[in-house]
Chains A and B, each alone.
Chain A
Amino acid sequence: MAHLTPTPVLEPGQDRTMILNMGPQHPSTHGVLRVLLEIDGETVVRLMPDIGYLHTGIEKTCEAKFYQQVVPLTDRIDYLCPMTNNLCYVLAVEKLLGLEIPPKAQWLRVLLNELTRINSHLVWLGTHAMDIGALTVFLYCFREREEVLKMFEMVSGQRMMTSYFRVGGIALEPPLGFFDRVRDFAGYFPEKVDEYENLLTGNPIWGMRTKGVARMTAEDAIALGATGPTLRGSGVDIDLRRDMPYSSYEKFQFKVPVSQEGDVFARYMCRVQELRESTAIVRQALDGMPEGPIKADAPGIVLPDREKMKTQMESLIYHFKIITEGFAVPAGEVYQAVESPRGEMGYYIVSDGTAKPYRVHMRSACFANLQTLAKMCEGHLLADVVAAIGSIDIVLGEIDR
């Protein structure tokens, strides 16, 4: 947690600026972000984010766990998109192992990931609008988010910390009625997005607070390491789902929304359109869901079915060994990146051939995106800082890890 050294930006004698502290307990910083602002009247001269209030040392903890024990830790990094983190971690470990995943598990992962994206964007939309003063949208968004959380509870037993994916597949078959419920949701959700857009997109007050605010050029966004809607809002057309597909995303048809303006409104439009595209992917996943197993055929790595464990000696032995000793992963290193709702979520895992990862590093999208905040706000009004923070869609758990 760095402190702002009071080095004067203006010449001494022109003592016009003051330092203003914002956060860490501030409702519009979405958690525990502290921002130090040097202001001249109402204009921000310098801005500096101060992070680390939620640092829990997850990367260090991972080094002391078996590979399968890390999965629940990955949820807790980004509590708004647990499935994305689960997916990225298990994909990285599967790449280290050279494991082939059955198609049904891959499609279920895609389905749940897009639901997660909807969930995350709904929280973002609600809180972002509330920061700027549109309170109603928050209640609308949380109504639909509740339905998504109930679906997560159906498959995994948990609303937020799902831990549903396993190395080699997914934990359980989805229960009866799950697919009907998802189909129902995917049917009515686009109308709900229209509802949010009716409240915001054409609203002149929303326009005044977002259009032309916190602008960022494509060059700046790339140089500062921005990804996801923060980058696409500045006109850079990249989406890892389409460009470097993983988990059979190449079999899905979807558009990648890009806006050219690079302001808060552009990033808003990108995310709202992503809500519609995600719904389309969910529908495709439901329609084309393949039949077959949900776990890879790798007895030493994937836990056996309960039924087999009680009837077959080998299964019992494998179960005991996986639980007590874990499974060894061949030495090597991989970097696996997925498109999280916030941008490029990457896991860099180094294995030394044992059952515990030698090093796990999470490349967090928000951590890099947060660096763009200074570029967006310096020279602009203090009131726009809140709009800019909301438009990056930060989750402090992911930033601090």
Chain B
Amino acid sequence: MPLSPPITDIEQLKNHPAVGRLIGWNPEAVQEVKFDRDEMTIVVDRASIREACALLREDSDCPFDFLSDVTCVDWYPAEPRFEVVYHLLSIPKKERVRLKVRLNSSSPTVDSLTSIWPGANFFEREVFDLFGIRFTGHPYLRRIMMPEDWEGHPLRKDYPVEGYR
């Protein structure tokens, strides 16, 4: 199956349950949408990610009730440098959606989702540990993989693969 080009036009994608719901709620919060390789990506404004997730979770038609994954991509040296990536799954409808938040390197801070899904706890700690993203409202934001006294955040692109010697 040859790859078809990604669709980025919001009007065409309004039928997707997550896109329609978020646009209906607050068109300002949706910065960008992309449908590529059968996967839906929605870039959400940093300030509204927590409310957007709460809204998608409680949606009556297609509740995205399961947080599969939280991770991050570092686009160093471009700005905004970080993309925090959330993968949501709707268990009743078997539908997936990817939400993204773009963060500048000057203040890599975003609201924690632990109040919506307690399971975000470990994932956010991992992103904090390996990328240095701060999650406000997280109950226990500490290193999880690396030793407590480690310096730097290993998965950032300006951190050498073989480490500092």
Contacts and interface: CB of A to CB of B under 8 A. Distances in A.
A225 B66 CA distance: 7
A337 B68 contact: yes
Contact of B154 (A60, A96, A97, A244): A60
Interface in A1-25: 1-3
Interface string B47-64: 000000000000000000
B144 A51 contact: yes
A123 interface: no
A225 B36 contact: no
A2 B142 contact: yes
A382 interface: no
Given A1-B147, A346-B69, A400-B145, A333 B41 contact: yes
Contacts of B29: none
Contacts of A100: 1
A222 interface: yes
A371 interface: yes
Q: Which of A334, A361, A371 has the most CB of B within 10 A?
A: A361
Contacts of B39: 333-335
Contacts of A248: none
The range of chain B's interface size is 35 or more
A343 to B, nearest CB: 10
Contact of A363 (B41, B73, B87): B87
B148 interface: yes
B129 to A, nearest CB: 8
A370 interface: yes
Contacts of B122: 367-368, 370-371
Nearest to B120: A225
Contacts of A236: 91
A222 B66 contact: yes
Contact of A2 (B41, B96, B119, B148): B148
Contact of B117 (A3, A96, A223, A367): A223
B146 A55 contact: yes
Nearest to A348: B71
B165 interface: no
Contacts of A57: 154
B146 A371 contact: no
A371 B69 contact: no
Contacts of B119: 223-226, 368, 371
The range of chain A's interface size is 35 or more
B37 A222 contact: no
A348 B65 contact: no
B3 A98 contact: yes
Interface string A339-356: 000001010101000000
A52 interface: yes
A348 B145 contact: no
Contacts of A350: 73
Contacts of A367: 122-123, 126
B155 interface: yes
B1 A2 contact: no
A332 B37 contact: yes
A97 B69 CA distance: 23
B118 A359 contact: no
B102 interface: no
Contact of B36 (A1, A223, A332, A346): A332
A76 to B, nearest CB: 16
Question: Nearest 6 CB-CB pairs, A to B?
Answer: A225-B119, A98-B3, A363-B69, A224-B119, A55-B145, A361-B71
Interface of A: 1-3, 51-52, 55, 57, 59-61, 63-64, 95-98, 100, 222-226, 236, 238, 243-244, 330, 332-335, 337, 344, 346, 348, 350, 358-359, 361, 363, 367-368, 370-371, 400-401
6 contacts: A2-B142, A60-B155, A225-B66, A225-B123, A371-B118, A371-B122
Given A2-B148, A51-B144, A225-B68, 9 more contacts: A52-B144, A52-B146, A64-B161, A98-B37, A333-B41, A334-B39, A367-B126, A370-B122, A371-B118
